[in-house]
Amino acid sequence: MLQSIEARTGAAIGAQWSESTADEITQAAAAAAAANDFFAATSAEHRATLLRALSTALEADRTALVELANRETGLGLPRLNGELDRTTFQLRGFADVLESGTIHSVVDDEAVPGVPPVGRPRLTKVRVPVGPVAMFSASNFPFAFSVLGGDTAAALAAGCPVVVKGHPAHPGLSRQVAALAKRVVAELGLPEGVFGFVQGGSIEVGVQLVQAEPIAAVAFTGSFKGGTALAQIAAERARPIPFYGELGSVNPLVVLPAALEQNGDALAATLANSICLGAGQFCTSPGIILVAKDAASEAFVDAFAHALHALQPHAMLSAPIRATFDRGVARWRADAKLKPLVADAASDTVTPRPFLAEVQAADFIADHMLHEEVFGSAALVVRVASVDETIAVLHAIGGSLTVTLWGAETETEDTRNLVRAATQTAGRVLFAGVPTGVAVTAAQHHGGPYPASTQPFTTSVGYSAVDRFLRPVALQDAPAWLIDRQGVPS
Amino acid sequence: MLQSIEARTGAAIGAQWSESTADEITQAAAAAAAANDFFAATSAEHRATLLRALSTALEADRTALVELANRETGLGLPRLNGELDRTTFQLRGFADVLESGTIHSVVDDEAVPGVPPVGRPRLTKVRVPVGPVAMFSASNFPFAFSVLGGDTAAALAAGCPVVVKGHPAHPGLSRQVAALAKRVVAELGLPEGVFGFVQGGSIEVGVQLVQAEPIAAVAFTGSFKGGTALAQIAAERARPIPFYGELGSVNPLVVLPAALEQNGDALAATLANSICLGAGQFCTSPGIILVAKDAASEAFVDAFAHALHALQPHAMLSAPIRATFDRGVARWRADAKLKPLVADAASDTVTPRPFLAEVQAADFIADHMLHEEVFGSAALVVRVASVDETIAVLHAIGGSLTVTLWGAETETEDTRNLVRAATQTAGRVLFAGVPTGVAVTAAQHHGGPYPASTQPFTTSVGYSAVDRFLRPVALQDAPAWLIDRQGVPS
């Protein structure tokens, strides 16, 4: 059963309702299949109109949606209004990209007379929508990574029908946004299967959706455990399908001594704020802070711990997420290799206390358990004796959505080596600021080596996210009518 | 043990030698890891020089290499000289692409002041070499898909060291080309780990290579069975790595009645020749021919069977490949649903006879075994009563490297629907000619939906093949020195 719950109090909002049945999931996938040929053949302008209409409808219902989101997630009105801004911006952004023509740009190689390898037929490479996409909403962005978030926008932009699985941590909002999307699809006269919606807290709902025969690709943002289980199911289908999973990460942040020469205290405050932002419930929340052992670095760690201690994260998204956070902190608290820096007893049942501990690099590298994300306002300071040890820590972590390098403004052998290690570890490398906050733009890449992403060559944020749903096809000696349809300049 | 064998007689050439030991495989992977940072940091021009030097060295040894290839594969001098042309063309083509700068083009989005979502930091998306690539040579293209074939060229172009596993069907040639590559690498003063080579006929050699810790990606061309087994091993590593497998396909060819109005007999001869080319040992050999039921189509099938009967494929690549072909033909021969059209008894132990049988669409659709490739000069004619039935056959096949549509020159609802079904089924759709022969160009796409490829969004032929080995990374607020290194125009 599904139940809308006040994040701040744990109180029920309204009555329970049933999760989607196996039949309903089958029907949603079948409707997507029925809409598939029609939607794939729509023009870029037609799909841009849909995306703009969805953006407009969200904007029109802003007050009610944000209020419900605030009750169900506890994330606060400023953040949720900002997130809705981002979501509508993203929908309009994909519409702009569609209208610019780049999504359907072709590579057209003219025929060359003669024998191979120089001689060749005409080849025109186009991209075709992969088919119905199963989209798994995240808990932590009730708008931007949920029902009408980036994955849905990218799939619709590509010409793929979407079947969204709403996240059970904000079930009322999910249902309301889904109803809005269905209304817009109907108003535009599109087949209803262009947008489908299923809901459920049980594992079966997700499994059934990934196994549904018409589903051609999966987009997932969520936990490592859930994501790897569903990826396995996608791979074991009679016909395996791509599984684009973004599974969270520890987001190492390297504080080089050069960064502390001017503004160490300000950086300490910035970092503490980033860790407490949204109660640390970001896939890009910095979880591993690499700090040297000189006096300035000692002072930075003190200031950072002091700043973090003074902060109070708000209530977490749901009781299960809070329980997982508490278990992660308890594990760290019990670890004799960790020296607690900010480790108050948990205060009450809804608002968590931040947690920070220090560990030596060698101990960190040796213990795989320490490389795992604790989702929430918790971080480890890893003390490193050298650049080589810093790089060894990054290699031990292996894969992350982001690595941040503070203090790499000057080119030296050290900074070159650190940049190399950072680009091997992450899909985004920052040289200023904090990794929380992911701009929606063409150059964004939100996806990193395992375990951050199941497909680290692809991104789930930014306009390249559409590439996940468009499969290249080379047309050889295509007839004139078909070339004309691809809009190839003659 | 490895043994060079005359394909035409089965006689041994020279003495046996040992396959690579586990230690040697570990050492080859370690050498690649040791070369990794250096090679990743080389300039595009530097790597272009390597590719051109490899091309020149192959050309210099052409006579000896082609002669040995001819003994080990039986493919004949004209084909093998042509294939070597293609291989050197490909190496030089990647060098040209490197020098053009497109491989390292960046997406640079300037910072926008203000709050998100409009405000954003500067983001510069670059691509970094993924790391050491394990490359599995194919049996059927001893040059173009072997030691210095397209996968090796693409990986080296990307800045990734390569560890090649030679194919045991041409072990002597593989060893000789590997020695040539090692010599070129040494002459250019590159670390020896830039090009590694292992060899073996046993499953263990491949498994050990895919499991070797430094390997960051796998490129594979070969059988469905071997490829899916190795893909599973890549996915089960402590850190899973991308597995780019090209596993062969049945390459449906649709003969629409419109194609037969003018030149049915010529098309029948062309098709028969394509099926016997290289004894049918092409991943793009047409294996399923869809033909209607009108009088012209009957005449086409007669002419096609007649033309095929008159042809004699040459010896196959190896005894195991021939044995697999014989088993596949025997399975079809025993199937009561198939009506034999060309089905002579096998003639001698080395040269196979072509095989052709006819089956009704409904029977074909219902029997999954008939959707599997029989590698060699064997094909099925599937008789279709309508365009809808043609589309149903394509959907039943599901995935293929190519689909060929003969007679779709005029736009009608039928041809639109057929093109749609073809693009859903294949990575390349041809409207003239035969699918054997794959041009090396920017617009090529050699990779299709499952079971043709494990990663159908990627190609193993053409210049986009390099994309498999370059992982995107977004640099956020990168310092000036790093931006300069990316060659971003200011």
Looking at the partner chain, which of A37, A86, A240 has a beta carbon nearest the beta carbon of B420?
A37
pLDDT of residue A248: 84
pLDDT of residue B486: 82
C-alpha dist (Å) from residue A393 to A370, A385, A387, A421, B130: 11, 11, 10, 10, 19
Whether residue B321 sits in one domain with residue B230: no
Cα–Cα distance measured from residue A441 to residue B217, given in angstroms and rounded to the nearest whole number: 28
Token readout for B249 is 């396909």
Q: CB contact, 8 Å: B79 with chain A?
A: no
Q: CB contact, 8 Å: B116 with chain A?
A: yes
Tell whether the model's pLDDT for residue B207 goes beyond 70: yes
pLDDT of residue A346: 65
Is A82 part of a structural domain of the chain? yes
C-alpha dist (Å) from residue B142 to A186, B5, B84, B172: 57, 14, 9, 11
Shortest Cα distance from B429 to chain A (angstroms)?
A: 5
Q: Which of B415, B430, B445 is the endpoint of a domain? A: B430
Q: CB contact, 8 Å: A188 with chain B?
A: no
Tell whether the model's pLDDT for residue A423 goes beyond 80: yes
Locus of tokens 């093949």: B465
Whether residue B243 sits in one domain with residue B316: no
Q: CB contact, 8 Å: A100 with chain B?
A: no
ipTM over 0.90: yes
Q: CB contact, 8 Å: B477 with chain A?
A: yes
Q: Cβ of B433 and A408 within 8 Å?
A: no
- Within 8 A of A397 by CB-CB distance, chain B residues are none
Is A444 part of a structural domain of the chain? no
Tell whether the model's pLDDT for residue A36 goes beyond 90: yes
Is B442 part of a structural domain of the chain? no
Query: Across all residues in chain A, what is the average pLDDT?
Result: 96
- Within 8 A of A449 by CB-CB distance, chain B residues are 239, 471
Q: CB contact, 8 Å: A423 with chain B?
A: yes
What is the DSSP code string of B315-374?
A: --S-HHHHHHHHHHHHHHHT-TT-EEEEEPPP-SSSSPPPEEEEEEHHHHHH-GGGGS--
Q: Cβ of B472 and A445 within 8 Å?
A: yes
Task: Tally the C-alpha atoms within 13 A of residue B417's C-alpha that lie toward its C-beta.
Answer: 11
Chain B: residue whose CA lies nearest to A422: B473
Whether residue B302 sits in one domain with residue B361: yes
Tell whether the model's pLDDT for residue B162 goes beyond 90: yes
Q: Cβ of A410 and B123 within 8 Å?
A: no
For this structure, is B283 an active site residue?
A: yes
Whether residue A481 sits in one domain with residue A396: no
CA-closest candidate to residue A13, choices A149, A122, A173, A129: A173
pLDDT in tens, B237-285: 999 999 999 998 999 999 999 999 988 999 999 999 999 999 999 999 9
Whether residue A290 sits in one domain with residue A224: no
Chain B: residue whose CA lies nearest to A484: B411
Is B374 part of a structural domain of the chain? yes
Is A447 part of a structural domain of the chain? no
Q: CB contact, 8 Å: B423 with chain A?
A: yes
Q: CB contact, 8 Å: B441 with chain A?
A: yes
pLDDT in tens, B57-113: 999 999 999 999 999 999 999 999 999 999 999 999 999 999 999 888 899 999 999
For chain A, what percent of residues have pLDDT higher than 70? 99
- Within 8 A of A82 by CB-CB distance, chain B residues are 115-116
For this structure, is A276 an active site residue?
A: no
Give the count of domains, chain B: 2
Single-letter code of the amino acid located at B110 = E
Shortest Cα distance from B17 to chain A (angstroms)?
A: 35
Whether residue B217 sits in one domain with residue B258: no
Cα–Cα distance measured from residue A4 to residue B375, given in angstroms and rounded to the nearest whole number: 57
Whether residue B458 sits in one domain with residue B340: no
Cα–Cα distance measured from residue B148 to residue B135, given in angstroms and rounded to the nearest whole number: 10
pLDDT of residue B262: 86
Q: Which of B396, B415, B430 is the endpoint of a domain? A: B430
Tell whether the model's pLDDT for residue A234 goes beyond 70: yes
pLDDT of residue A262: 86
User: What CATH number does the domain containing A273 carry?
Assistant: 3.40.309.10
A374-399: average pLDDT: 97
pLDDT in tens, B430-443: 999 999 999 999 99
Token readout for A258 is 């050069």
Cα–Cα distance measured from residue A35 to residue A163, given in angstroms and rounded to the nearest whole number: 12
CA-closest candidate to residue B398, choices B348, B452, B346, B455: B452
Q: CB contact, 8 Å: B372 with chain A?
A: no
Whether residue A411 sits in one domain with residue A386: yes
Confidence of residue B346 (pLDDT cuts 50, 70, 90): low
Domain range for A70 = 2-247+453-485
For every residue of A95-134, which 3-state class applies, written as one string? Answer: HHHHHHCHHHCCEEECCECCCCCCCECCEEEEEEECCCEE
A413-434: average pLDDT: 98
Whether residue A278 sits in one domain with residue A226: no
Q: Cβ of B477 and A107 within 8 Å?
A: no
Q: Cβ of B117 and A445 within 8 Å?
A: no
Whether residue A259 sits in one domain with residue A241: no
pLDDT in tens, A106-123: 999 999 999 999 999 999
Mark which residues 127-166 of A lie under 8 Å from B by CB. 128, 131
Residues in CB range of B458: below 8 A, 6 or more apart: B244, B447, B464, B465, B467, B468
CA-closest candidate to residue A470, choices B445, B408, B94: B445
Q: Cβ of B443 and A398 within 8 Å?
A: no
Q: Cβ of A476 and B37 within 8 Å?
A: no
Q: Cβ of A443 and B481 within 8 Å?
A: no
Whether residue A292 sits in one domain with residue A181: no
Residue A297's φ and ψ, nearest 5 degrees, are -70, -40
Q: Is B16 exposed, middle or buried (0-12, 13-18, 19+ CB in 10 A)?
A: exposed
Confidence of residue B27 (pLDDT cuts 50, 70, 90): very high
Locus of tokens 């093998």: B80
Is B420 part of a structural domain of the chain? yes
Looking at the partner chain, which of A90, A128, A441 has a beta carbon nearest the beta carbon of B123?
A441
Whether residue A263 sits in one domain with residue A242: no
Mark which residues 325-364 of B lie under 8 Å from A by CB. none
C-alpha dist (Å) from residue A435 to A16, A246, A251, B117: 37, 16, 8, 15
Chain B: residue whose CA lies nearest to A120: B439
Q: Of A83, A283, A373, A389, which residue is the catalytic one?
A: A283
Is B441 part of a structural domain of the chain? no
Looking at the partner chain, which of B85, B427, B431 has a beta carbon nearest the beta carbon of A473?
B427
Q: CB contact, 8 Å: B371 with chain A?
A: no
Cα–Cα distance measured from residue B406 to residue B282, given in angstroms and rounded to the nearest whole number: 20
Q: Of B160, B276, B283, B389, which residue is the catalytic one?
A: B283
Cα–Cα distance measured from residue B257 to residue B383, given in angstroms and rounded to the nearest whole number: 12
A19-28: average pLDDT: 98
Q: Cβ of B444 and A472 within 8 Å?
A: no
Helix and strand tally (H, E) in chain B?
15, 17
- Within 8 A of B431 by CB-CB distance, chain A residues are 475-479, 482
Q: Which of these ranges, A28-32, A306-310, B245-249, has the smallest mean pLDDT?
A: B245-249
Residue pair B24/B16 in contact by the 8 Å Cβ criterion:
no
Instruction: Measure the N-to-C terminal CA separation of chain B; round to a whole number of Å.
Output: 58
pLDDT of residue A254: 98
Query: Across all residues in chain B, what is the average pLDDT?
Result: 96
User: What CATH number does the domain containing B79 carry?
Assistant: 3.40.605.10
Q: What is the enclosing helix (H) or strand (E) of A195? A: strand A195-199
Tell whether the model's pLDDT for residue B488 goes beyond 90: no
pLDDT of residue A263: 87
Q: Cβ of A116 and B86 within 8 Å?
A: yes
pTM across the whole model:
0.97
Token readout for B74 is 């039986």
pLDDT of residue A104: 86
Residues in CB range of A376: below 8 A, 6 or more apart: A279, A280, A281, A313, A316, A321, A322, A324, A325, A328, A329, A352
Shortest Cα distance from B466 to chain A (angstroms)?
A: 12
Q: CB contact, 8 Å: B193 with chain A?
A: no
For chain A, what percent of residues have pLDDT higher than 90? 95
Q: What is the CA radius of gyration of chain B?
A: 24
Is B140 part of a structural domain of the chain? yes
Q: Is B224 exposed, middle or buried (0-12, 13-18, 19+ CB in 10 A)?
A: middle
Tell whether the model's pLDDT for residue A464 goes beyond 90: yes
Tell whether the model's pLDDT for residue B489 goes beyond 80: no
Degrees, nearest 5: CA angle A420-A422-A428: 120
A240-266: average pLDDT: 95
Strand A133-136 to A162-166 pairing: parallel
